[in-house]
């Protein structure tokens, strides 16, 4: 077989939605069509290709010229992973070849990037054909291993909208005299929770990176940290606040504690289905029990933040950023490049080899976590209202905390001082 002469580019969206997907589709299509290439939009990620179905749409400049400011994806998206089955992988490649596809732009996270790499490898090794690909990194979690300070697209819009929602909850809390528990999306890392909490001026934000990655933590620790924040606010005459936590905390908590909270579901293989746990419900239940044990009466409401921000119209930053990324992805392919994640660094197009973002041990894409030693995190901690070591040094302020907790000073110290070690 010989590689087709006509350059034909396919665009595939994988994983969950993120603001700016349409903008990438738009800029890739415009540049490719200007260069005389055919462009196909593939519907529903790799799911239809794996069934041998050509659910596609030929894209034109007129079709995409004004979609850059729209949320969602005109091509939809899917989490289907074709690499889990050799049959699916082969069928994806065969279908792309039948369509005459020579180049591929994938828009997604680590799983989508890995799938694209496997597809290109299969085409080369099994059929002797070249399918060049470029991957545009997308996730509101901001956890792909890009250089420090460079966000994944969609994160800034999600953070901005999430901060607006939490700011509204802060005002509600102040007006009605209550606390809100907010759980922000973030499968592993706490970037979105911290970004939302810091931008909105939330009372406290708790992320997985605060704790040692080598051991599980008790659920009671998270609850006591929030309880301590409530006590500190009460001691200053404020009976309201908002606590933001990261979804990824759930995987750091001891299994026996989650079992005791009666919130676990298991899949057919006996693995815990973390995605099915409503973490904000668990936290609310345990927090209220903790407050009641101290005799503190407090209205607590819980809120999950995630789905509301995924398909929001991108803000100005993400529109410009994704138009740049889309252009960069096509320019990279047009120049003969392949097998890379596309980034913009110091106003330059910088492709990162897919092999360079793999963990050498797990062979999976590395996860970028929050650097708790960074100035950004240190400043965030300074503006939180949470129990600190200095609060237990004695004096009138310490006594006010004990009174607010309705505990004798020595008992208050014994009960809550340990949270300051985290």
CA 421 from centre of chain: 27
Contact status, residue 93 vs residue 7, Cβ threshold 8 Å: no
Q: Kindly give the interhelix angle for 409-416 and 396-404, rounded to the nearest 10 degrees.
A: 80
Whether 130 and 124 have beta carbons less than 8 Å apart is answered as: yes
DSSP structure string for 5-59:
SS-EEEEEEBSS--TTHHHHHHHHHHHHHHTT-EEEEETTTTTTGGGT---EEE-
Among 70, 141, 257, 318, the active-site one is: 141
DSSP E strands in 249-361: the ranges are: 300-305, 340-345, 348-353
Residue 141 bears catalytic tag: yes
Sheet holding 204-206, edge to edge: 204-206, 241-246, 179-184, 300-305
**Which one, of 175, 210, 401, lies nearest residue 301 by Cα?**
175
* Order of strands, sheet of 56-58, starting from the edge strand that comes earlier in the sequence: 56-58, 38-42, 8-13, 103-108, 132-137, 340-345, 348-353
Q: Residues with catalytic annotation?
A: 141
């Amino acid at each position: 077989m010989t590689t087709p002469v006509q350059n034909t580019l396919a665009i595939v969206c994988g994983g969950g939605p993120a603001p700016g997907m349409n903008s990438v589709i738009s800029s890739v299509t415009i540049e490719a069509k200007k260069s005389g290439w055919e462009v196909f939009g593939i519907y529903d990620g790799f799911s239809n290709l794996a069934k041998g179905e050509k659910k596609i749409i030929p894209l034109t400049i007129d079709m995409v010229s004004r979609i850059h400011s729209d949320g969602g994806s005109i091509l939809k998206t899917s989490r289907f992973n074709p690499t889990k089955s050799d049959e699916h992988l082969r069928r994806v490649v065969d279908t792309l070849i039948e369509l005459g596809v020579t180049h591929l732009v994938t828009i997604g996270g680590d799983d989508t990037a890995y799938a694209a790499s496997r597809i290109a490898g299969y085409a080369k090794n099994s059929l002797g054909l070249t399918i060049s690909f470029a991957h545009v990194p997308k996730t509101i979690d901001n956890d792909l291993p890009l250089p420090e300070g460079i966000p994944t697209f969609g994160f800034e819009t999600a953070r901005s909208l999430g901060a607006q929602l939490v700011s509204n909850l802060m005002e509600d809390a102040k007006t009605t005299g209550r606390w809100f528990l907010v759980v922000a999306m973030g499968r592993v890392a706490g970037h979105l929770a911290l970004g939302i909490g810091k931008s909105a001026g939330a009372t406290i934000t708790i992320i997985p990176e605060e704790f040692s990655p080598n051991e599980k933590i008790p659920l009671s620790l998270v609850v006591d940290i929030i309880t301590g924040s409530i006590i500190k606010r009460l001691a200053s005459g404020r009976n309201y606040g908002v606590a933001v936590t990261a979804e990824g905390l759930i995987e750091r908590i001891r299994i026996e504690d989650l079992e005791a909270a009666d919130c676990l579901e298991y899949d057919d293989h006996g693995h815990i289905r973390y995605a099915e746990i409503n973490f904000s419900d668990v936290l609310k239940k345990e927090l209220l029990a903790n407050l009641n044990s101290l005799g503190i009466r407090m209205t607590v409401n819980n809120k999950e933040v995630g789905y509301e921000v995924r398909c929001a119209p991108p803000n100005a930053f993400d529109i410009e950023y994704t138009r740049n990324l889309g252009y960069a992805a096509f320019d990279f392919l047009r120049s003969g490049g392949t097998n890379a994640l596309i980034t913009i660094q110091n106003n330059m197009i910088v492709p990162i080899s897919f092999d360079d973002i793999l963990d050498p041990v797990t062979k999976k894409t590395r996860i970028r976590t929050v650097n708790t030693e960074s100035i950004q995190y240190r400043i965030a901690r300074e503006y939180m209202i949470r129990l600190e070591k200095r609060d237990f040094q004695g004096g009138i302020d310490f006594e006010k905390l004990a009174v607010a907790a309705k505990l004798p000073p020595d008992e208050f110290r014994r009960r809550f001082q340990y949270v300051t070690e985290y």
